[in-house]
Chain A
Amino acid sequence: MARLEVKGVSQEYGDLRVLDDVCLTVESGQVACLLGPSGCGKTTLFHIIAGLERPVAGSVKLDEQDITGESGHLSYMLQKDLLLPHKRIIDNVSLPLVLQGMSKEAARDQARPLFEAFGLEGTEERWPSELSGGMRQRAALLRSYLFSQEFMLLDEPFSALDAFTKADMHTWFLDVIERCHTTACVVTHDIDEALTLADVIYVMRGAPQAGMPTRIVGEEHITCPHSERATFNLTPEFLTHKRAVLEMLG
């Protein structure tokens, strides 16, 4: 578990200002959701947090350590599952350990016991092309987890799944977060998904292409425990939160 603090982050590409003074905090053990319309710069913000890009201003701190522009500190799961088609599932998920210098066999041995917790038992020797969308996403999440248990960035991890699989994956995801003592930050453009997953929702607004850089326009804290989230959307509180979020989105 780790605490993430993003302070005053701005980003520009040439004359185009994409992010303007973005500040957010994710406390350890929490799930934060970044909610905003497509194309508002959520992925850019994630690239900055993951250290793939350096912002023009601002800082990213993980447990008080400045990691601005440095990759390799927290795990980043991109929109697509991005399992490498030429590696078996076990080698795909243990890849981060191999990249850190572990031998292939040792990495496999470390990954193997986690397959059950991630609902992937029996798929170890399969090729990614043999797995369903939901299973591939689980494998991608296990790979992220093996890279860093401290903090996970997830960029629209469930957007490619159908509604039924998605609901299953939400429950499963919260369970994994709880059991693995991880902090997570999830990007989504789905309000219901944000309300189901998040302890805190940061609402982003802006249209960089139209000359309006994206800012954080508000935050919504949700106190419902992770274990009761499966039916949370049937409660009046859910609607109250949803109304508040919709107002922020404008």
Chain B
Amino acid sequence: MSGEVAHNEVGRSVDGTGSPGVDGASNAAGGTVGADKAQGSASSLGMRLAAPITLAVLIAIWQLVCMAGLVPGYMLPSPLAVVQALVSDWPLLCEHAVTSLIEAGLGLAAGVALGFISALLMDRFEVLYRAVYPLVVLTQTIPSVAIAPLLVLWFGYDMLPKVVLIVVTTFFPITVGLLEGLRSVDPDEIDLLRSMGATRGQIMRHVKLPAALPQFFSGLKISAAYAIVGAVIAEWLGGFSGLGVYMTRVRKAYSFDKMFAVIFLISALSLLLMWAVEAVRRISMPWERGERKPQ
């Protein structure tokens, strides 16, 4: 915006000199300004479509490669074959997806609750923060793939080991996000509430928690994505139902088309969950939009 104004001003002052050669230059400059403007609106649309177009092009190339027979069909199924697999196995996929989603939901809920409690405690007691926080960070260096088999050995083939793995992976982003949020609150805001005689609980409710919401939701978004992936990883190692179990079975049968189908389904579910978190964030933080809502 300000760039355009500057351009125009340059154009006008150059016009003022009246020399024909410079006049031509100013016209050229004016032309660029117009082009800039047109490009501005086009590029915003282009920006929005950039990712979908790239995806479409990649899928088209993939389809062409398969149709040309450059890669044998059993190694790389064509996108159309994947869609066919997705459709033909849809009821079965749904059944497995429900199991995985229940595990992810339970694990995420427990992870959020645990993360919330640990963040509140560490915020309240500095000693606890000093003692526990480094350990919490340390647990994150252990790959979940490595502890999943242990969990299966300890808790069997039912849902429990899956839920535990999800809790372990999801509670970390929540704890860190919320804790950082709580600790980043302007101390003057806390002084203000103290001067009004507010209790610790009131300060938490009116200042600290709302101020920590953005970081909490950033953490929750990451956790939501981890939850589905965590469920699948845990299911690989044993179980009776779930997308990870389905994946293991189709892999053993060399059904690459179904393999791809389930991978796409898993990404879609993760995206959907992250999108849901984003929607909740928007609803619970209306002040970010700065809109007026009659109440």
Contact = CB atoms under 8 A, between A and B. Distances in A.
B195 A95 contact: no
Interface string B252-295: 00000000000000000000000000000000010100101111
Interface in B171-222: 186, 188-189, 191-198, 202, 206-207, 210-211, 213
B287 A50 contact: no
A72 B294 contact: no
28 contacts: A47-B191, A52-B194, A71-B195, A76-B195, A76-B196, A78-B188, A78-B191, A78-B192, A79-B188, A80-B188, A82-B189, A84-B207, A84-B210, A86-B211, A87-B210, A95-B206, A96-B196, A98-B206, A99-B196, A99-B197, A99-B202, A99-B206, A100-B197, A125-B292, A125-B293, A127-B287, A127-B290, A130-B290
A71 B287 contact: no
Nearest to A153: B195
Interface in A96-133: 96, 98-100, 125-127, 129-130
8 shortest A-B CB distances, which residue pairs? A72-B197, A76-B195, A86-B210, A127-B287, A50-B195, A99-B198, A96-B196, A86-B287
B197 A71 contact: yes
Interface of A: 47, 50-52, 71-72, 75-76, 78-80, 82, 84-88, 95-96, 98-100, 125-127, 129-130, 147
Given A78-B188, A125-B292, A85 B287 contact: yes
Contacts of A85: 287
Contacts of B211: 86
B146 to A, nearest CB: 41
Given A76-B195, A96-B196, A84 B189 contact: yes
A148 to B, nearest CB: 9
Nearest to A79: B188
B188 A129 contact: no
Contacts of B195: 50-52, 71-72, 75-76
A82 B197 contact: no
- Report whether over half of chain B's contact residues are helix, strand or loop; otherwise say mixed: helix
Given A95-B206, A99-B202, A127-B287, A76 B192 contact: yes
Contacts of A51: 195
A100 B193 CA distance: 11
Contacts of A79: 188
Contacts of B197: 71-72, 99-100
Nearest to A53: B191
Given A50-B195, A82-B189, 12 more contacts: A47-B191, A51-B195, A71-B196, A76-B192, A76-B196, A78-B188, A86-B285, A95-B196, A99-B202, A125-B294, A127-B290, A129-B290
A100 B197 CA distance: 8
A4 to B, nearest CB: 15
A250 to B, nearest CB: 31
Interface residues of B, number: 24
Contacts of B210: 84, 86-87
A130 B188 CA distance: 21
Contacts of B294: 125
Given A84-B206, A86-B211, A125-B295, A147 B191 contact: no
A71 B285 contact: no
B293 A75 contact: no
Contacts of B295: 88, 125
A85 B188 CA distance: 14
A222 to B, nearest CB: 28
A38 to B, nearest CB: 17
Tell me which of A72, A126, A127, A129 has the highest count of chain B C-beta atoms within 10 A of its own C-beta: A127
Contact of B194 (A71, A87, A130): A71
A247 to B, nearest CB: 34
A52 B191 contact: yes
Interface string B19-41: 00000000000000000000000
A202 to B, nearest CB: 21
A98 B207 CA distance: 13
A51 B198 CA distance: 13
A147 B207 CA distance: 17
A129 B289 CA distance: 10
Nearest to B203: A99
Contacts of A84: 189, 206-207, 210
Nearest to A77: B192
Contacts of B196: 71-72, 75-76, 95-96, 99, 147
Contacts of B194: 52, 71
A162 to B, nearest CB: 22
Nearest to A49: B195
